Amino acid sequence: MGYLKFLRLNWLFLLAGFLLTFTSSYGQTYFISLFAGDIKNDFALTDGQWGGVYTLGTSLSAIAMLWAGVLTDRFRVRALAFCVMLALATACVAMGLNTSAGVLVVVIFALRLSGQGMMSQLGTVAMVRWFEATRGKALSLSSLGFATGQAILPITFVALFTVVQWRTLWFIAAGLVILTIPVIILLLRQERTPQSMADTAQMAGMDGRHWTRGEMLRSGLFFMMIPLVVGPAAWGTALFFQQVHLAEVKEWELVAFVALMPIYTVSSIAATFASGWAIDRFGVSRIVPFQMLPFALSFVVLAFADTIFMAGVGLVIFGIGQGVQGTATSSMWAEYYGTRYIGSIKSVAAALMVFGSAIGPGVSGALIDLGITFPEQMLPISIYYAVAAALAAFGIHRYQPTLRR
């Protein structure tokens, strides 16, 4: 089934998935980091201190995700999305009102848990559960919400900085979240029954069974995949978290760097579509071992980039990695561990991702305070990606034979 026909037949559910992932933007690092300069100035924080606040708040949200993510196994998407979006809107309002550095940790925690954590979890779990034979296509289309948010929101809000005070922008973000709630409820008046539109029967995971979260945590494959899950979240987050610092060190205009986001998004979207098709056509096992390599190459390019054009080249390559990563990793959990407990399994993956996104800003900010610029940190990061790719390839090679296909 081609993308256009698939979209025509399933547009209600795909649009819901798109809006869920798009709305996660307000709790994503690339959005929050746009306000880094103003936050550091208002709260008198250094790069390292701001990174520490962000790391603590994000780490706490990662711990909370281990519990909160399980809720996607217990409640329908429509009901849970309503509660999570109300929480996200409240967190946006709190960011606009807060004047205490101590409370800032709590606000970051709320933004990260409700935005990056639960909204992303809802969007991916819904696609994995609603679609089976066409899971790759569904994930690639719903993941466009991440890419669209990253393309539109940074450049829009940076432009608004010139006419609107930064705290007011958080009230605008809250309003946008509230406006999305009735649309989600309307789209999901009747939630999809997965088996009714699948081309083949539901498949279990390794050894022909559905794994529980506890069983997954004791499996060897899980540990081999940890660097693959943590790495992009950690260092991709650091890249966007430190974008103000990066532009200063490279002597680029921040507006010029942010203006590259649509180009990055185009490459991410193209890779998302290509990987979704490839997963349905060839299987996720053939995709996962290679998904870290674009990340490694992009950090090499960005480390040596001396013009805004080369920064664009680096972001295009990085976008390819993001597009493949967003689709392949979610599909991999369902492929190898089954879908019956996918909510609780994905909650662990989401917690690892959120924890990774806590590590990146904290470590990179501390190193910047020690005099090691972020561009100087990029080559070791690229080596990390290469090692993660090798470990993932070994894990897939070791456990693929246990899939009874």
- Report pLDDT digits (tens) over 67-105: 887 787 777 788 888 999 999 999 999 999 998 988 999
pLDDT, position 1:
56
pLDDT, position 402:
83
Whole-number Å distance between alpha carbons of 209 and 212 = 10
CA-derived radius of gyration, the chain: 20
Burial of 56 (0-12, 13-18, 19+ CB in 10 A): middle
- Report pLDDT digits (tens) over 185-205: 888 876 655 443 333 445 678
Whole-number Å distance between alpha carbons of 225 and 399 = 12
Q: What percent of the chain has pLDDT over 90?
A: 36
Token pair belonging to 4: 């256009």
75: left (phi over 0), alpha (psi -120 to 50) or beta: beta
Lowest mean pLDDT among 47-61, 132-146, 248-262, 298-312: 132-146
Whole-number Å distance between alpha carbons of 336 and 332 = 6
Number of Cβ within a 10 Å radius of residue 259: 16
Domain boundaries, the chain: 3-399
Range of 123-137, 193-207, 293-307, 339-353 with top mean pLDDT: 293-307
pLDDT at residue 267 greater than cutoff 70: yes
- Report pLDDT digits (tens) over 2-24: 667 777 777 778 888 899 999 99
Q: What percent of the chain has pLDDT over 70?
A: 94
- Residue 278 banded pLDDT, cuts 50, 70, 90: confident
158-164: long-range pairs with CB below 8 Å, 24+:
158/34, 158/254, 158/255, 158/258
Whole-number Å distance between alpha carbons of 336 and 354 = 22
Q: What is the pTM of this model?
A: 0.74
* CB contact at 8 A, 233 and 360: yes
Whole-number Å distance between alpha carbons of 396 and 401 = 9
CATH code for residues 3-399: 1.20.1250.20
Whole-number Å distance between alpha carbons of 161 and 254 = 12
